[in-house]
Amino acid sequence: MRSRLLSPRFNGRLHDARTATSIGRWLGIAFMVCFATGLISHVLQHPPAWLSPDLPSRPVWGYRLTQGLHVASGVAAVPLLLAKLWTVYPRLFSWPAVRSVRHALERSSVAVLVAAAVFEVATGLLNTAQWYPWPFSFVPVHYAVAWLAAGSVLLHLAVKAPEIRAHWGRRSPGTLALPEEDGPDRRSLLAAVAAAAGAVTVTTVGQSLTPLKGFTLLAPRHPDHGPSGLPVNRTAAAAGVGLITADRFRLTVTGPRPCTLTLDKLRNLPQYEARLPIACVEGWSKSARWAGVRVADLLGLVGAPPHAGVRAVSLETHGGYRVSEMGREYARDPLTLLALRLNGEELTPDHGYPVRLIAPNRPGVLQTKWVGRLEVTV
């Protein structure tokens, strides 16, 4: 009797296991892509010491692709997750709330799953907008909760395997005809959910998939907006680096034969060009034409051993991105430059004047601007 009083009644097909399976299938794919590409991003940004020297600097566009997919699949997951939660929310009212120990465990694992999934999608989405309205640091928490989400998805798939199997195909097991409950209402809902996921993807993915840049209605960034046709994440003013003048600037390179170079000296070393993207972790990316000195040449100049890596230190005095490290593969890649020029012009202050690091297959946060010091690491 109590259940009747407390529980609204849900009879619609749109709240049944078949709809939940159909939407869950797409959501599962989005989560899988998001999780795998997130792991790649994490390893590139925080590699374990044993892996760091061998992190591959190719393909040039590798991180651009994986991080573009990470943000696109996360954005597509927003309407999919909302639709999935709407489909299953009547279960909140099922009675009795707990039927057995097994049932209690299952329900609590679903609570963890929902909380972790909502947390990941929401924090990731706000991060693409560079908005951090929380007291913890984003990267470690987003990373840790990703494992919680992945574990609870696996558990959920295992628990629900019989239902998923029964509703996966177009036809119910044992029947040749479509089940009669597969009516137009379900098809309309699925079409609407697919359209919503498609719409948010098309209107945001242009921030990294530049052929679609004309449609970036909902994207926080347009790949063309910024000095020299390239977006800026943190301006020189925001980073507090002030005006760095050519006559006062010095680059220090440490190593067996340390040296200090003026900007003129750097300009007189052999210059190379490379077409490389900046691929920001927040989801925008853009290829540009860079020119400058090879990091490998600078390592040669100070007599660094062939297996050396490099730590780049910015003239910026505060901020999480003022230091970056690269292992051997990046350091000796002929495309890894200490860039002086961007798209045929001298670097602007916001792009790191007088010199900034640019390397292939590398997260934007590690492409250090306003470099004042290169330290050989072995």
Ligand X SMILES: Nc1nc2c(c(=O)[nH]1)N[C@H]1C(S)=C(S)[C@@H](COP(=O)(O)O)O[C@H]1N2
Give the interface with ligand X as residue ranges (CB under 6 A): 230-234, 239, 278, 280, 314, 316, 319, 321-322, 351-352, 364-365, 367-370
Segment contacting Mo ion by CB under 5 A, of 57-65, 198-206, 228-236, 290-298: 228-236
Our finding on whether 366 is near Mo ion (CB under 5 A) is no
* CA gap 210, 214 in Å, rounded: 8
Partner whose binding site includes residue 38, from Mo ion, ligand X, none (CB under 5 to 8 Å by kind)? none
Fill in the amino acid letter for 267. Answer: R
Q: Is 281 exposed, middle or buried (CB count within 10 Å of its CB: 0-12, 13-18, 19+)?
A: buried
CA distances from 57 to 25, 133, 330, 340, 371 (A): 34, 34, 5, 21, 20
Length of the chain counted residue by residue: 378
- Give Cβ neighbours of residue 44 (< 8 Å, ≥ 6 apart): 55, 63, 361, 362, 363, 366
Partner whose binding site includes residue 322, from ligand X, Mo ion, none (CB under 5 to 8 Å by kind)? ligand X
* CA gap 331, 296 in Å, rounded: 6
Segment contacting Mo ion by CB under 5 A, of 12-20, 101-109, 246-254, 277-285: 277-285
CB of 16 to ligand X, least distance (A): 45
Q: Which residue is nearest to ligand X (CB)?
A: 364
Q: Judged by CB, which is closer to Mo ion: 15, or 234?
A: 234
* CA gap 205, 217 in Å, rounded: 10
Q: How many Å is the Cα radius of gyration of the chain?
A: 26
Half-sphere exposure of 48 (CA within 13 A, CB side): 3
CA distances from 131 to 125, 161, 220, 343 (A): 9, 38, 11, 29
Segment contacting Mo ion by CB under 5 A, of 44-52, 166-174, 217-225, 230-238: 230-238
Partner whose binding site includes residue 167, from ligand X, Mo ion, none (CB under 5 to 8 Å by kind)? none
CB of 222 to ligand X, least distance (A): 13
Q: Is 265 helix (H, G, I), strand (E, B) or coil?
A: helix
Q: Judged by CB, which is closer to ligand X: 300, or 319?
A: 319
CB of 123 to ligand X, least distance (A): 17
* CA gap 56, 33 in Å, rounded: 21
CB of 366 to ligand X, least distance (A): 7
The answer to whether 358 touches 293, Cβ cutoff 8 Å, is no
Closest CA to 304 of 296, 312, 292: 296
CA distances from 38 to 14, 53, 193, 220, 348 (A): 32, 21, 24, 20, 31
> The dihedral of CA 51, 325, 43, 114: what is its sign?
positive
Our finding on whether 207 is near Mo ion (CB under 5 A) is no
Our finding on whether 360 is near Mo ion (CB under 5 A) is no
* CA gap 131, 31 in Å, rounded: 22
Q: Judged by CB, which is closer to ligand X: 52, or 314?
A: 314
Q: Judged by CB, which is closer to Mo ion: 277, or 364?
A: 364
Segment contacting Mo ion by CB under 5 A, of 38-46, 170-178, 235-243, 274-282: 274-282
Q: Judged by CB, which is closer to ligand X: 42, or 160?
A: 42
Q: Judged by CB, which is closer to ligand X: 26, or 370?
A: 370
Q: Judged by CB, which is closer to ligand X: 84, or 351?
A: 351
Partner whose binding site includes residue 278, from ligand X, Mo ion, none (CB under 5 to 8 Å by kind)? ligand X
Q: Judged by CB, which is closer to ligand X: 150, or 274?
A: 274
Residue of 80, 280, 299, 358 that binds Mo ion (CB under 5 A)? 280
Partner whose binding site includes residue 231, from Mo ion, ligand X, none (CB under 5 to 8 Å by kind)? ligand X
Q: Judged by CB, which is closer to ligand X: 84, or 322?
A: 322
Segment contacting Mo ion by CB under 5 A, of 55-63, 108-116, 229-237, 253-261: 229-237
Our finding on whether 352 is near Mo ion (CB under 5 A) is no
Chain residues that interact with Mo ion, rule: CB under 5 A: 233, 280, 364-365
